[in-house]
Structure 1
Amino acid sequence: MDGIDLTGKRAIVTGGYSGLGRVTVSHLVQAGAEVIVPARDVTRARSALAGLSGVEIMPMDLFTAASVDAFGAAIVRRGVPVHLLINSAGIMATPLSRDADGHEAQFATNHLGHYRLACGLWPALRAAEGCRVVAVSSRGHQLAGVDLDDIDFDRRPYDKWVAYGQSKTANALFARALDARGRDHGIRAFSLHPGQILTDLARHLSEEELSAFDALDAQGNPKVDPEKGMKTVEQGAATTLWCATSPLLAGHGGVYCEDSDVAPLNDGAMGRKGVAAWAADDAIAEQLWVLSAQWTGHDVS
């Protein structure tokens, strides 16, 4: 963020009061941005962000369609541009549950909630005349592509990791399809893998599952080895901030990034650097976009 001046810029950061999101908000504020943090738990958000000037907290629950719609409408009514939309909130490896429309919870929260948010904010994003939308995906996208025939596990057995992988693939595909629609309006979109970082995202994992990840040292502290992708929260937030602000990405969009760089296509092996082919396929991205529009009743223009 050295040399990045965001004075006069407005950012919205979902998940901005914990983990990667909070670090992202902190550095955006330090660079001069005005930051709006939508929060399901407003009290917790106020406590977590206390002491940071230039931050506004507004209620919003990504899992609830009416809540997302109300937030987007409130921002648009202000008649102000939004220069950065950073979709950092998410859930991981949760037991099977569904939203009010019957959609599997990880897909509903990680993808559909953010899809609905971007559509609702579209007039404000266009008004910026130069906006970036950043979707925090994960290397977990390599676990699974999007099963367009059974996204919600209505017919196949529910697997929490397949569901998580599918939702993270959806994040990457969302960025590609959004970028295709936004580039003529000055809106560019990116997705990214921040690294393997133990945050509140892992709250649904058992001690046995955490142990299997070999993420903790003998003292029970998170291991840090950036060469192996095991990062601190600050190191993980660096790629989010790079996607949001780096001049090196001017004129680019739709790409998947990691380690503060554009990532190559992955060779198909799980756990390797790079993006899986199924998360970089424009035809699948379009199919997912069309389906998302049908399911939510929202689109962009």
Structure 2
Amino acid sequence: MIQKPLGTGFGARTTAAEVLAGVDLTGRLAIVTGGYSGIGLAATRALTQAGAHVVVPARRPEAAREAAEVDELDLADLDSVRRFAERFLASGRGIDILIAGAGIMAAPETRVGPGWESHFAVNHLGHFALVNLLWPAIAPGARVVVVSSAGHQLSPIRWDDIHFDRGYDRWLAYAQSKTANALFAVQLDVLGRARARAFSLHPGAILTPLQRHLDTADMVAAGWIDEHGNPADPSFKTPEQGAATQVWAATSPRLDGLGGLYCEDCDIAEPTDSTEMIAGVRDHAVDPAEAERLWALSAELTGINAF
């Protein structure tokens, strides 16, 4: 699939509400992981206002009161993922939009499940399991949207040490998981395109609870905020702007017949060779062979594969 912008007329400052202006999602059901805070909450609000019924899985359901419907889900726990999927499948409803947006960033070294590195487990494997378990409910013509990041530019899949058993780096762990998010969308689109299409995206830089593992000094040093905690980087988006690309990828007719693409600023992203977390997508995040290899590994690790 060719990474070439469509010229949508939208941009970095477009909001989710502007993307959905005039769009009627009445009767559509969306699942949004991470839909209770930050850009996920902004996406939930925009989809709901456009008429969609939004289900928000949350590790702490009490934190997701603004959602149309809440159910318990811990992406770090495959048993929790299975229970959520079983409950949803038992409802007999179809899924028109699935946004895989929950995640962690720059967390301290943590092991979950059978010793998996937490970023890879939560950001990728949990969503891999969730989408595969929910696949029987995915409606014809549905969209699966996986929230990646420009952070993918910092690392391909570390095939020789995926779980950082030989030394931990919190930013490389995050970066690898974001590459995995993009590759997941590539292979899901290959396998599932007869029923649904898949996309990944960079939402932009936004100050949200995703930065919970960074202290003020970290963010001042990065130039994100000033010493008083105020935003210092003019390129940062609001949560409503950060949610725009995911709702665009989930609903835009401009993407009909397309899939497996990495998007940003409400358009398809261009290729880049950057290692500095700027615009564009690196080859290692959209490589079909890497995507197929990652799918096989993910299926082996989780014991789950709808295909």
Q: TM-score range by the shorter chain?
A: over 0.9
Task: Pick from 182, 193, 201 the counterpart of residue 210 of structure 2.
Answer: 201
Task: Pick from 170, 187, 191 the counterpart of residue 160 of structure 1.
Answer: 170
Instruction: Measure how far apart 1:21 and its partner are.
Output: 0.4
Change (3 A) 1:231 1:76: same
Query: Which residues of 2 match residues 41-190 of structure 1 at below 5 A?
Result: 41-46=60-65, 49=66, 55-125=68-138, 128-154=139-165, 156-185=166-195, 187-190=196-199
Given the two structures, how large is their TM-score scaled by the length of structure 2? 0.91
Per-residue CA distance 1:18-74 (angstroms, 9 max, x = gap): 00000000010011101100010111212xx1xx6xx11001111111000111111
Cα separation, 1, equivalents of 2:250 and 2:232 = 27
Matched, 1:8 2:27: yes
Cα separation, 2, equivalents of 1:36 and 1:100 = 25
Instruction: Measure how far apart 1:218 and its partner are.
Output: 6.4
Given the two structures, how large is their TM-score scaled by the length of structure 1? 0.93
Change (3 A) 1:76 1:273: same
User: Do 2:107 and 2:213's aligned partners in 1 also have CA atoms closer than 8 Å?
Assistant: yes
> What amino acid is the match of 1:72?
A
User: Which residue in the other structure is 1:256 paired with?
Assistant: 262
User: Do 2:225 and 2:233's aligned partners in 1 also have CA atoms closer than 8 Å?
Assistant: no
Per-residue CA distance 1:124-147 (angstroms, 9 max, x = gap): 01xx11110001111111111111
Cα separation, 2, equivalents of 1:285 and 1:273 = 21
User: Do 1:6 and 1:31's aligned partners in 2 also have CA atoms closer than 8 Å?
Assistant: yes
Instruction: Measure how far apart 1:284 and its partner are.
Output: 0.5
Provide the alpha-carbon RMSD of the alignment.
1.2
Instruction: Measure how far apart 1:267 and its partner are.
Output: 2.4
Cα separation, 1, equivalents of 2:268 and 2:181 = 16
> What amino acid is the match of 2:50?
A
User: Do 1:224 and 1:232's aligned partners in 2 also have CA atoms closer than 8 Å?
Assistant: no
Instruction: Measure how far apart 1:80 and its partner are.
Output: 1.4
Cα separation, 2, equivalents of 1:285 and 1:181 = 11
Matched, 1:246 2:256: no
Change (3 A) 1:218 1:152: closer
> What amino acid is the match of 2:154?
L
> What amino acid is the match of 2:164?
F
User: Do 2:119 and 2:177's aligned partners in 1 also have CA atoms closer than 8 Å?
Assistant: yes
SS in 2 for 1:184: coil
Cα separation, 1, equivalents of 2:63 and 2:54 = 17
Cα separation, 2, equivalents of 1:163 and 1:5 = 39
* Aligned residue-pair number: 288
> What amino acid is the match of 2:186?
R
> What amino acid is the match of 2:147?
V
Instruction: Measure how far apart 1:274 and its partner are.
Output: 0.4
User: Which residue in the other structure is 2:273 paired with?
Assistant: 267
- Identical positions, percent: 53
> What amino acid is the match of 1:265?
P
